[in-house]
Structure 1
Amino acid sequence: MGWTRKDILHMEDLKPSEIQIIINTAKPMKEILSRTVKKLPTFRGRSVYNLFFESSTRTRTSFETAAKILGADTTSLAVAQSSVNKGESLLDTVRTLQAMKPDLVVIRHSSSGAAHFLAKELKAGVINAGDGQHEHPTQALLDLFTMQEHLGSVEGKKILLVGDILHSRVARSNVWALKALGAEVVLVGPPTLLTPEIKSWGVKTTYHLDEELAGADVIMALRLQLERQKAGLLPSLREYSQLYGITAERVQRTGKKTLIMHPGPVNRGVEIESSIVNSSQSVIEEQVTNGVAVRMAIMYLLLGGGTNHVVD
Structure 2
Amino acid sequence: MAEQQALRHIPVMLGEAVEGLAVQAGGRYLDGTFGRGGHARAVLSRLGPDGRLLLMDRDPQAIATAQAEFASDARVSIRHANFSSMAEWDETATGLDGILLDLGVSSPQLDEAARGFSFMADAPLDMRMDTTQGESAADFIAQADEREIADVLWTYGEERFSRKIARAIVEQRAEKPILRTGELAALIERVVGRREPGKHPATRSFQALRIRVNGELESLKQGLDAALERLNVGGRLSIISFHSLEDRVVKLFIRDHSGKVQGSRRGPPQAAKLARLAAVGKAQFPSDHELSVNPRSRSAVLRVAEKLA
Bin the TM-score by the shorter chain: 0.3 to 0.5
Q: Which has the larger radius of gyration?
A: 2
Instruction: Provide the TM-score with structure 2 as the length reference.
Output: 0.39
Structure 1 length-normalised TM: 0.39
